[in-house]
Amino acid sequence: MIVENRAIYPGTFDPITLGHVDLINRSLQVINEIVILVAHSKKDPLFDAETRKELIATCFKNDPRVKVEVYEGLLADYARRNNIKVVLRGLRGVSDFEYEFQMATMNRRMYPDLQTLFLMASEKFFFVNSTLVKEVISHGGDVSELVPSHVEKKLKEALCSGSRSAVNP
């Protein structure tokens, strides 16, 4: 059953995790096309926006239903300009809900046609977030079951080799 043709899945994705990938794949069961919107981050991301875009695009290189774009600005403005009426958001637990509810309400206030579709994280990934992944790998921990292999390689290059060549200056 398709509920809408297109949806936006926004985030910083610094880096994309298997939790993100799982949510996108499950969303594709009800959405025809997903635009993953990589946000410029004020949180001093490890990877620049173009690197994050490339890491995401590699995950879905064989799926034409997934597009990846970098965007700086209001989500509601992007959605309106592109005639997209659904935003996908993942919830890992109750702690995510308050923030996500506030964002959904503000987006809808700016663009009344915009609906937010919340999906619960899979049990396997409910504890995973990008910050935790970076912390674990920076101390030599194994993240192979938390991120795609090409992302793990890029994280090791950035955090374990002592150089930050593929990251923000």
- For 21, 32, 88, the CA distances from 11, given in Å and listed in that order, are 13, 20, 10
Catalytic residues: 20, 43, 92, 130
Alpha-carbon gap, residue 90 to 120, rounded angstroms: 6
Is-contact 145 21, C-beta < 8 A?
Answer: no
**Phi, psi (deg, nearest 5) at residue 38:** -85, 120
Is-contact 75 85, C-beta < 8 A?
Answer: no
Cβ burial, residue 102 (10 Å; 0-12/13-18/19+) = exposed
Strands (E), the chain: 4-11, 31-39, 66-71, 86-91, 115-120
